[in-house]
Every structure is written in C-alpha cells, then in structure tokens.
Amino acid sequence: MYGILFQAHSGLRFIVFFALVIAMILAFIGWFGNKPYSKGNRILNLITLISTHLQIVLGLVLYFYSPYVKFSNMAATMKDSTLRYWTVEHIAMMIVAAVLITIGNAKSKRGLNDTAKHRSVAIFFGLALLIIIVAITQGGRPLLGVSH
C-alpha cells in the first residue's frame, strides 16, 4: 500500500509543479499584458488547485506510514536533518503552499476585473511556487528529484 501511494504522490508532483508554473506564467502575462481572464485560465487554475489538494491528501496519508517520519523521540528527530525534513519541514511548507494556492484561486473568482484576477493568481501561486522550490531543494535535495 505504501509503495502505491508513494508512487502516486511522486508522479502527481510533476502535474502540480508544471500546472503551477504554467498557471503562474499565464497569470503574469495576463496581469501585465492586460489580457482577459479566460475560461482557460479558470480551468488551469482549478486543475492546479485540485491536483495540489490531491497531492496534500496523498502526502498526509503517506505521512503516517513513512519510515522517515518519527514522533517517538522528537529531540533526536530534530537533530537529524533527514528525519526533521520529512517529519516537520516538508509537510509544513507544502501545507502553506497549498493554502496559498487555495487563496489565490478563491481571490481570482472574486476579482473585480481581469487584471485583479490575474494579479491574485500571479502573487499567490508565485509565493506557493517559491515555497515549493525551497521545500524540494532544501538540504541539497535535487529539484523534483526528492525521494523518501
């Protein structure tokens, strides 16, 4: 069971990452280029949101089965950079990123005009992307090459 969930989580990260990058780039183009906020933008943002939420759910399930998440001796866990990363840092940063994506998508729905909608997505998705990049490159871990 762990292996299947881990593979799903590992594969879905590419969808989340690339959907987020594309949505953010299009949002910046729309914001600074005064482009209309289209149905395509809405759909891409929704795909980004849904894939992110699915990734969080899979990650939370894995969190309780992972051999790298240790609560039994938190003092020792916090001294070991790998255990600390998987037990505390990874989950915290990814949840913050998912919250930012959720806020950005919600604000884009309530934006007063196309520029405001694009700006919300660009800012919140951009912050989420920054956090994700920091989270997956932290401690010398290669970008998109994280395994546990």
Q: What is the pLDDT along the chain (148 residues), one digit of tens a residue?
A: 888 998 999 899 999 999 999 999 999 999 999 999 999 999 999 999 999 999 999 999 998 888 778 778 889 989 988 888 888 899 999 999 999 999 999 999 999 999 999 999 999 999 999 999 998 887 445 444 444 4
Could you tell me the pTM of the whole model?
0.88
Cα separation, 148 vs 107, whole angstroms: 34
| Neighbouring C-beta atoms of residue 144, cutoff 10 Å | 14
Per the structure block, which two tokens stand in for 15? 């969808």
- Predicted pLDDT of residue 27: 98
3-state secondary structure of 140: helix
Beta strands in the chain (DSSP E): none
Q: How far is CA 123 from CA 22, 64, 70, 126, in A?
A: 14, 32, 34, 5
